[in-house]
Structure 1
Amino acid sequence: MRAAVLQETGQDKLEVLDDIEPAGFGPGKVRVRIKATGLCHSDLSAMSGVLPQPAPFVPGHEGAGEVLEVGEGVTHLGQGDRVVVCWLPACNSCPACRRGQSHLCLTGFMNAGTPNFRRTTGGSEVFGFAGTGTFAEEVVLDAPCAVPIPDDVPFEIAALIGCGVTTGLGAAFNTARVEAGSSIAVIGCGGVGISVIQGARACGAAQIVAVDPVAGRREAALRFGATEAVAPGELADAKRRITADEGFDHVFEVVGRSATARTAYETTRRGGTLCVVGAGAMDDQLQFNMFELFFDEKRILPSLYGGGDVLRSYDRAVALWRAGRIDLEGLITHRVRLGEINEAIDQMRTGEALRTSISL
């Protein structure tokens, strides 16, 4: 089959190979034919080395498809079932799961270091990003990574719900718990940032300021519910005008850099919430002094995968989409085939695309 492979960490381009096969099928596994996958900035971060991932690997973790085969012991799925790929499945038995924090379950990460592809010419092993690797026509997954989806949810929409939409909506609903009438700033308006904006709007936020250096993304943010969109250099003025310089009730950092996180902290009002959504590098340090932490009493809340039960978050996203409360079709600004993957990567890097849907 075909798959897009990054041979070495730090390379800019993927190589579309046709000698890849899924590996590791057996008890407790499922083999899935990927129908659509999204290109997420986390894929680019893994390619550049910002996020740790052994190479060579098949990027992609935001996918949906059809079950081709189920292994022994798998009872919740059958051949032909439509599924969304969950890159962070819950085991439901570890301490985090028993505490009701299933999004912090590490079971899925334990399998991320096991190759789930191999090359038919030479037999060398290839990893899948985050234990998945959806930039491939087929993939073998742990059964909990394949979550059934309703028949009325298109594969392209389901793929988005698999990561970006769930992450952004959950940051607003679960982590920050945005209140009706509150003021919001969202720094970074790619696919996840736009989902934060849609979540804040659904929560009833009164002012939603979108912050991004790319004009096209600022325009998109206004279409998805932002009340104002500004370049980074204009954020301080927006803070003065909208909050009388007090700061916003909630500021979401959706970039994953210490510099923007520091800006977000300074833009948050005393007693407000800084919600860190962006995935950053392990060597990028964010500094605070002990007095400001004590005196300003700002809450700093990281949000991993939306900060709540993933399966419930999937269901909520589907319900809001069906009700017309969130726009998911509009997120897909580019649709490409697998062979056009490098073009899609360039569009993502330049900010021309909020989300790219890749058909396989």
Structure 2
Amino acid sequence: MRALVYTPSLPRFFGARLLGKRFPKGLLPLALKEVPLSEREGFVRVRVRLSGVCGSDLALLYGKSPPSLSPFFSFPAVLGHEILGEVGGSLVAVNPLLACHDRGLPPCPMCQRGEEGLCQNLAEGPLAPGILGYNRDLPGGWGEWTLARPERLYPIPQGVPEERAVFAEPLAVVLRGLGKLRPWPEEVLVLGMGTLGLLAVRLLRALGYTGRLFAVAKYAHQAERAKAFGADQVFPSAKEALLERAKRYRYLLFEGHRGGYEAVVEASGSGKGFREALALAREGGRVLLLGAPGLEWADLSPFWFKEVALVGSYTYTREEFGQAVALLKELEGLEALVGGVFPLEAWREALAARGKALFRPGNVA
């Protein structure tokens, strides 16, 4: 089958890390190849209909992933963990986790609690380390086929269009993260109006959140979408959001603030966004990391000086994934986040797309 394969390269890693998005896409360690699709006991073949490009995929390609995560991935691998597939003519969302049960191991303490996203055996057993999309033994969604256990397949509700259904996986991440803000605060600010940030705004309202909802959007089209999804007020920058709610103090060349927002959702996945989120949280407030900042410097004083609490969300339980799939029926408008649907051959254009980029392999109409 044809697939986009990521093969690590130290020269390209450091080049991409130094140059970022200016690094020539033709030199990224990604290539369209013919790869075998072997059978594996207990797994079924899933024809890939659509697969999303995630911020964590871009972080990997551009050398921004924290090195401490590398033992829990295995390469070369077919990337893509946001997967809408087809089995027996029916559309399914693929839960990409490969926890103890998938690895043929007795359940670890976290899996016993149902917290498979926190599985302690992510790098153990007969399977290579990593979930689908970061696993050398099982292909991810940036190819024509993938393999998954039947219990990892969730039927898509009738009437949900494919370009909305493919958001099941990131929606599950956001759903889990927002659950960590309960009981709901009176106000929430979402920082970064990419896919995760806009999903957070839309999902908060869908879950019945009635408090004040603020957003920070870099671009006008993101601001319009945030308002359409339920934001009460949208700021063009974190600085303007901070000046709206906090008092500024200066001493010599240094600046500090008191005040801010009760809860801040950091969804940009950048070190800058993390630093801004800590500054935007008021005294005793909470910061939720939905994005995945890597090796970036940050002033940690808000944790003790303002007693800001930090929580994160990376994956989900089976129940949370199922709940996300069920919510797709009522989340009309998510498909508007799609910035383009690309064949595998056009991967360079997909990585440069504005909005959510999706791959549609050539074996489907």
Superposition TM-score, scaled by structure 2 size:
0.76
Asked whether the 8 Å contact 2:99–2:117 carries over to 1, the reply is yes
State the AA in 2 paired with 1:83.
V
Is 2:202 the counterpart of 1:190? no
State the shift of 1:49 in Å: 2.8
State the AA in 1 paired with 2:6.
L
State the secondary structure of the residue aligned to 2:278: helix
Gaps of 5+ in 2: 17-24, 102-106, 248-256
Query: Aligned partners of 1:293, 1:7: CA distance in 2, in Å?
Result: 38
Query: Aligned partners of 2:56, 2:130: CA distance in 1, in Å?
Result: 19
Match of residue 230 from structure 2: 225
**Residue deviations 1:82-126 (CA, integer Å, cap 9, x gap):** 422212255473201223433212445544538999xxxxxxxxx
Change (3 A) 1:130 1:328: farther
Is 2:42 the counterpart of 1:22? no
Asked whether the 8 Å contact 2:165–2:328 carries over to 1, the reply is no
Match of residue 322 from structure 2: 315
Asked whether the 8 Å contact 2:80–2:132 carries over to 1, the reply is no
State the shift of 1:36 in Å: 0.9
Change (3 A) 1:228 1:101: same
State the secondary structure of the residue aligned to 1:176: coil
Count residues with an aligned counterpart. Answer: 322
State the secondary structure of the residue aligned to 2:166: helix
**Residue deviations 1:211-264 (CA, integer Å, cap 9, x gap):** 1333332332222222222222322223349xx963211101112333322221
State the shift of 1:139 in Å: 1.8
State the secondary structure of the residue aligned to 1:22: coil
Query: Aligned partners of 1:261, 1:154: CA distance in 2, in Å?
Result: 34
Match of residue 330 from structure 1: 336
Match of residue 121 from structure 1: none
Match of 1:50 among 40, 50, 64: 64
**Residue deviations 1:285-343 (CA, integer Å, cap 9, x gap):** 54424xx53453322111222xx52x322333344332x35532222232222222221
Change (3 A) 1:2 1:100: closer
Match of residue 113 from structure 1: 129
Query: Aligned partners of 1:33, 1:335: CA distance in 2, in Å?
Result: 17
Match of residue 170 from structure 1: 176
Change (3 A) 1:304 1:359: same
Match of 2:264 among 228, 251, 256: 251
Is 2:304 the counterpart of 1:264? no
Match of 1:86 among 85, 95, 103: 95
Change (3 A) 1:326 1:273: farther
Change (3 A) 1:81 1:219: closer
Is 2:5 the counterpart of 1:5? yes
Asked whether the 8 Å contact 1:165–1:191 carries over to 2, the reply is no
Between 106-115 and 128-137, the greater mean CA deviation after superposition: 106-115
State the AA in 2 paired with 1:356.
A
State the AA in 1 paired with 2:110.
A
State the shift of 1:150 in Å: 3.9
Match of residue 124 from structure 1: none
Match of residue 122 from structure 1: none
The CA RMSD measured in Å over matched residues stands at 3.2
- Counting aligned pairs with the same residue, the percent is 28
Query: Aligned partners of 1:227, 1:267: CA distance in 2, in Å?
Result: 17
Query: Aligned partners of 1:103, 1:7: CA distance in 2, in Å?
Result: 25
Residues 199-218 of structure 1 mapped to structure 2, 5 A cutoff: 199-202=203-206, 203-218=208-223
State the AA in 1 paired with 2:85.
G
State the AA in 2 paired with 1:184.
V
Residues 136-155 of structure 1 mapped to structure 2, 5 A cutoff: 136-155=143-162
Change (3 A) 1:45 1:143: farther
Query: Aligned partners of 2:226, 2:183: CA distance in 1, in Å?
Result: 18
Query: Aligned partners of 1:153, 1:183: CA distance in 2, in Å?
Result: 31
Asked whether the 8 Å contact 2:98–2:130 carries over to 1, the reply is no
Match of residue 86 from structure 2: 66
State the secondary structure of the residue aligned to 1:21: coil
Query: Aligned partners of 2:138, 2:183: CA distance in 1, in Å?
Result: 32
State the shift of 1:152 in Å: 4.0
State the shift of 1:130 in Å: 10
Asked whether the 8 Å contact 2:156–2:325 carries over to 1, the reply is no
Asked whether the 8 Å contact 1:112–1:128 carries over to 2, the reply is yes
Query: Aligned partners of 1:62, 1:106: CA distance in 2, in Å?
Result: 22
